[in-house]
Structure 1
Amino acid sequence: MKVLITGATGLVGSELVKLLLQNGVSVNYLTTSKSKLENQDLYKGFYWNPQNGEIDRNAFDEVTAIIHLAGASIAQRWTSKNKQEIIESRVLPIRLLYNELSKIDHSVQQFISASAIGIYPHDFTKVYTEDESEIDNSFLGHVVAKWEDEADTIGKLGINVSKIRIGLVLSKNGGALQEFVKPIKFGLGAPFGNGKQYQSWIHVFDLANIFYFVLKEKLEGVYNAVSPYPITNEDLTKAIAKQLEKPLLLPKIPKVAMKLVLGEMHYLLFVSQHVSARKILDKKFQFKYPAIDKALQNLLP
């Protein structure tokens, strides 16, 4: 099996590449940085520039599946310029892949796109499944809807499409967990707002394995990639502090304060999305780190 990956050198991509290579899967990857091009037996890089419509067509040779992970970080100030970059970095690569695949003979049968649980509306009590039709009325909801709509166009080429809605990714190599850890380490940690907002999280190991599972099982449609046990912001903060053996001394951080600091992006800290993992569990996927305590023991010293 040979897979073509976008975003292969990112937080999730690097974990997935490691897993695929361990299982004997050949990996081609697309990168916008010529300095990141490698040429090994099972791991080969190819240059592309979605902004300019450039791509090395050799990247598609013998590829049976494409996994699209590329996308600019949403954890940056949501200025007009950054918003445009966040959307285009997700949509333009898929558009370029579609255009190229429609022109060439290829062996691609499966397209797996990253997505995000940010598509689900803010709610303190509702549990969201993949069947939810309402979209969150926020910039994030707007981004994910555009992202998924673009992914669906690949289906017009007779290729099976899967969309993996990713929750809060916990990793020791960066991402959200390290941002939580920093203030707690210095005794400055505290829940955001009332702390009751649900944060549907996933260990990066389990996330990579979900992508591999969807690939192996040739699953189609939408799948939530979250732990079976989402927790509130307050409980997550307490669990991290407990693992680090640090006290939580400060009062809860009010929304107005974070809005002043982060602008519109503060929404990420206060939105509540209780997301179900039932669909992927019903397909017999097994989590290695389903509970937050076990995940933090693995990720934090």
Structure 2
Amino acid sequence: MRIAVSGASGLLGSALVGALEPAHEVVRLVRRAPTSYVERRWDPSRGIIEGQGLADVDAVINLSGAGLADARLTPARKHLLLESRVRPTATLHRYAAESERCTAMLSASAVGYYGNTGDEVVDESDANGRGFLAGLVTQWEGSAPQAEGLQVSWLRTGQVLTRRGGVLGKQAPLFRMGLGGIIGDGQQWISWISCDDWVRAVRCVLERGIVGPVNLVSPNPVTNEDFTERLGHVLRRPTRVPLPLPLVRRVLGHELVNEALLFSTRAVPRVLEDEGFVFDHPDLGVALRALYRSGRHRRDREKTDEDSVVTDPEVEASP
């Protein structure tokens, strides 16, 4: 299968491409001049994919979108978050729908679609929620509707656990300094997934032809309090002092803290489970130990790895 991927050199994109390449041919969509035959230039701001577009691929995977937690949610930032998702997604969808060969589009999304659901368990059958993030994701998915001859899947991703970035990549250094603690009352639910399971789940959606929304999360969401305790235990650091919420709000902004850190989403992967997908890391403790299992010498090697990571010029979607 020949698969076009946007955001292929990003944190999740590079992991996914590495898993796809042994069995599939990957075409990387880039926004700079191509440097190899596996790259193809595109400009979503103008709605253009150069060369053959998507006429010569069987599927396209869209991982485009500016990071949610990279800056305060100012009006300008909100506009960027929306445009960096909707324009690329709409461009890929149009080219895919026009292609006689391309029959599948997998598009990044987020469990933020469900909004603040408290303790309620939600799955793919539940409606969208309220708030900026829920509205953002709803419009994001709306830019890639089902079309004749094209099966569209929305990858509603939770917090992906990886040492090299994402929320955990930002949290771990603070925990190692003894500054890790619960946020708010710690009872808000976190829907998470290991990076390895995320990659395997995307392959499952692609190779089994799963259509529609798919929650890419572990079957065992945890509260912020549980997450904090387990991460502190794995890193052997205390987590008794709660993070001062006024300080966090001062740094990140009131709305971003509420939507990204205090909102509770207890999502489960009903579609994946119905497909018989088996998680390698269904338990948070197991997943965290898999990341940090080798102790200090592993962390030293980790630092060397992180120093070698090149920041992706492409913008990759962040839940």
- Same fold by TM (over 0.5)? yes
One-letter code aligned to 2:111: I
1:112 alignment counterpart: 106
2:64 aligned with 1:70, yes or no? Answer: yes
Distance 2:51 2:125 in 1: 36
Pair 100,123 (structure 1): closer, same or farther in 2 beyond 3 Å: closer
Distance 2:129 2:250 in 1: 23
Distance 1:96 1:123 in 2: 32
Distance 2:83 2:126 in 1: 25
RMSD: 1.6
2:39 aligned with 1:45, yes or no? Answer: yes
TM-score with structure 2 length normalisation? 0.86
CA-CA distance at 1:83 after TM superposition: 1.2
One-letter code aligned to 1:113: S
CA contact (8 A) 1:202 1:225 kept: yes
Distance 2:121 2:213 in 1: 16
Query: What CA deviation, in whole Å up to 9, does each residue of 1:167-205 have, x standing for no partner?
Result: 011112111111221211111111000001000100011
Pair 206,255 (structure 1): closer, same or farther in 2 beyond 3 Å: same
How many residues of Structure 1 are paired with residues of Structure 2 in the alignment? 290
1:6 alignment counterpart: 6
2:254 aligned with 1:258, yes or no? Answer: no
Distance 1:273 1:167 in 2: 9
2:299 alignment counterpart: none
Query: What CA deviation, in whole Å up to 9, does each residue of 1:222-254 have, x standing for no partner?
Result: 11000011111011111111111111242x235
Secondary structure of 2:237's counterpart equals coil
Pair 173,59 (structure 1): closer, same or farther in 2 beyond 3 Å: farther
Answer 1 or 2: higher relative contact order, Cα 8 Å, separation at least 6: 2
Percent identity between matched residues is 33
Q: How does 1:128-207 map to 2 (within 5 A)?
A: 128-133=122-127, 135-152=128-145, 155-207=146-198
Distance 1:100 1:229 in 2: 37
Q: How does 1:10-89 map to 2 (within 5 A)?
A: 10-22=10-22, 24-34=23-33, 37-39=34-36, 44-75=38-69, 76-89=71-84
TM-score with structure 1 length normalisation? 0.91
Where does structure 1 differ by over 4 angstroms across 4 or more consecutive aligned residues?
none
CA contact (8 A) 1:199 1:273 kept: yes
Structure 2 unmatched runs, 5+: 296-319
Distance 1:215 1:227 in 2: 18
CA contact (8 A) 1:226 1:277 kept: yes
